Chain A
């Protein structure tokens, strides 16, 4: 038993077929019937994310989304929680830059009851001023807590420094203390009225149901929802400055949290699939170059990785690692060297094949759950991707070649322009980091 055993013949797998329709009010309806399941997952997405808010009210989209689960005109916060949870339904709601979303996963026989409650909460949320004040205070407290957390500090500072100062993406989508503090419940009501509407919304239902009953449920609960949503603002992200270092001083830190990167791609980028494969090879899987070098060879970190964060407009590309304080400067050097090598060398066929084989082979596992299948349809709805997107995904990945990866890296990985943010003990790391001579260094307080 010394050699790798041969695989048997693979069973073919196809992403589940789905039905897509649109109600007269504009609501997109995506149905994925999976008759052998017990559960049903429902997600409703609207163009009511942070990109739909006024910049002067940064954070109102996030607060409004959170506020949806705190009651309806009929049920106050306690009664809404009690009513949903007694049915075994835990409703969640949240927002990102590109959408606000609310939904649940429950046993299949709760679909109609769940749809009714979801409609009640999306269409007629209570938007209670007491609950608004509470969630706002919790959000401000959370920002306070984040200042003690080195990883969250580094994430926030990286965004703030990598974008030009007038680009909204330079903050967390949930806003900053300065923008959240003045918000009031009237702002949430106005945001809800302007941004939540059927013509900018889609509902995805995947799992144990028959299409006719699900469609009847959606029509019954959402069919007379009316209105037009304001949609999203256009954004034109630009990067701030060239290569430089920002050191967030956190005295006593035994590790330095590194964030290294620059602007990346938007969701419609023509090299999207090359970028996905390249990022996986560089820092997306256990055996990726960053993790192999920084963890498995040097032992500097528990893990190193990198990723693009594609959005409607250009999101960041970030390499991430928490490294032992003593090796901070060398870790930065090693990390940048891997970015440079990605540009300079065409990857070997075998190295690329491993990553491609992973992304293609793991395809059925990504869609193991009803929630996973529902989530898979969200980008199709939010970014207007082709209905054939998942049916052609594997052939798109397989089409990536060593040359296309090299060309993609040459365009999208730019260590010479990289911003280096680190949260750590400046008294122990500043001099060594400065001696790397990578560019100007600025030390800021946590």
Chain B
């Protein structure tokens, strides 16, 4: 695989800078990861990290409400932001000659968000976020699955117990004081990674721009300690939950606590997830959907999170007339068979080649390349991991898959949650 060029710097104020020059297309990506996510939220303020992300688009000392979007778009760029359990990211991809615009916008809100904050803007974005929750969770069939799975998989004291979107009650409680406190605590250069990837003149020139715009921003000398993410390796039992909902077909979700993202065991489970759930030649699709015709669909998702324990999730939707119990047994049989026998050579060849093609496809996009560099820098202080993704994955053998699955999928470490049509449950 071709290697992504990487140069790392740290400004005096602690801002970590990753530069990856690639002038093939006249495009540049600017990507910031702040080391703050919903796991940092205090009790009674679930959803706040994400609400705060919305406030970052409401203007800053030299930028009006809405102007961040309009300036980047008028420059021919695209932009957005997202918040998840571990982190919050902000990103722009734009024509290379507009690099400084993105740096100026990002620096202005990192340096001086609070002068632009008003109660009216907070109330407006609170309403928007509540509508985001209604749209993606409350008004969607199966829409609260991840919220429920996190609650069941992590104990009440654990920062992954609650969802990033938060509760309506806590969103209602959020105040301007919270905005000020959160900003002062987490939105500091020494709590962030800035990546610039793509078409820029030279590393020296890009670094000079970074220093000009971000250099004067003071660090937070009192960054809060990271939250305590300690959790038992296993759940300790099988937790079962049945959820009557407005859904036509039953769906079963399985979750297991697994070693965190970045560990060798996580890589092995990444391979296991693809053997089971990626592509039409995957074990679950082949067995449950195509051969036995018990399931309408089958998916596997592995949460790439770093605190204490990550999550391995499987879900399958029953065909009409199929008893959830039968589908549950058939799904577990496939997962357990892989844990016992391990993948064969054809499985490994298949997922490795698909992974290599997907990785090349992802890195083809300069914005995705920048995001992965920021991710590895923020979570592991090692952006170079972007260049070993494919070899780490390809280095996983059958024994590692077998061992990692056997460790994680037993009845002592399982959540089984079944959505059933509400009328059938009544």
Contacts and interface: CB of A to CB of B under 8 A. Distances in A.
Interface of A: 1-13, 36-39, 69, 77-78, 81-82, 84-90, 105-107, 131, 134, 137-138, 141-142, 144-145, 147-150, 252-255, 285-287, 292, 295-302, 322-324, 353-354, 357-358, 360-365, 368-371
B229 interface: no
Given A8-B97, A149-B141, A292-B66, A322 B75 contact: no
A354 B97 contact: no
B4 interface: no
B73 A145 contact: no
Contact of B62 (A3, A81, A148, A296): A3
B357 A39 contact: yes
Contacts of B224: none
B58 to A, nearest CB: 9
A322 B248 contact: no
Contacts of A295: 128
B167 interface: no
A6 to B, nearest CB: 8
B237 interface: no
Contacts of A105: 357, 361
Interface in B18-56: 24-27
Nearest to B352: A88
Contacts of B101: 4-5, 7
What are the 10 closest A-B residue pairs judged by CB atoms, nearest first? A361-B76, A299-B127, A88-B353, A81-B281, A81-B280, A11-B26, A5-B100, A88-B357, A302-B132, A148-B141
Given A4-B101, A86-B353, A141 B320 contact: yes
B397 interface: no
B333 interface: no
Contact of B134 (A39, A322, A360): A322
Nearest to A36: B24
B213 interface: yes
A150 B62 CA distance: 41
Contact of A286 (B69, B95, B246, B289): B69
Contacts of A3: 62
Contacts of B134: 254-255, 322, 324
Interface string B181-212: 00000000000000000010000000000001
A38 B140 contact: no
Nearest to B142: A148
A295 B366 CA distance: 30
Contact of B97 (A2, A10, A81): A10
Describe B's contact surface by its main secondary structure. Answer: helix
A33 B133 CA distance: 45
B298 to A, nearest CB: 12
B286 interface: yes
B75 A361 contact: yes
A322 B249 CA distance: 24
A203 to B, nearest CB: 20
A148 B247 contact: yes
A287 B69 contact: yes
Given A90-B279, A292-B66, A361 B26 contact: no
Contacts of A292: 66
A224 B361 CA distance: 32
B63 to A, nearest CB: 9
A368 B70 contact: no
Contacts of A89: 357
Contacts of B76: 357-358, 360-365
A350 to B, nearest CB: 10
Contact of B296 (A39, A141, A254): A141
Given A77-B290, A88-B354, A90-B279, A361 B361 contact: no
A93 B49 CA distance: 40
B388 interface: no
B118 interface: no
B68 to A, nearest CB: 9
A371 B362 CA distance: 12
13 contacts: A85-B279, A86-B346, A88-B356, A255-B139, A285-B73, A286-B69, A287-B73, A296-B128, A298-B124, A301-B135, A324-B130, A357-B74, A365-B95
B304 interface: no
A77 B357 CA distance: 22
Contact of B141 (A6, A145, A322): A145
Contact of B26 (A13, A107, A302): A13
B365 A7 contact: no
Contacts of A296: 65-66, 124, 128
Contact of A354 (B70, B125, B353): B70
B159 interface: no
Interface in B124-160: 124-128, 130-132, 134-136, 138-141
Interface string B67-109: 0011101111110000000000000011111101101100110
Contact of B357 (A7, A107, A322): A107
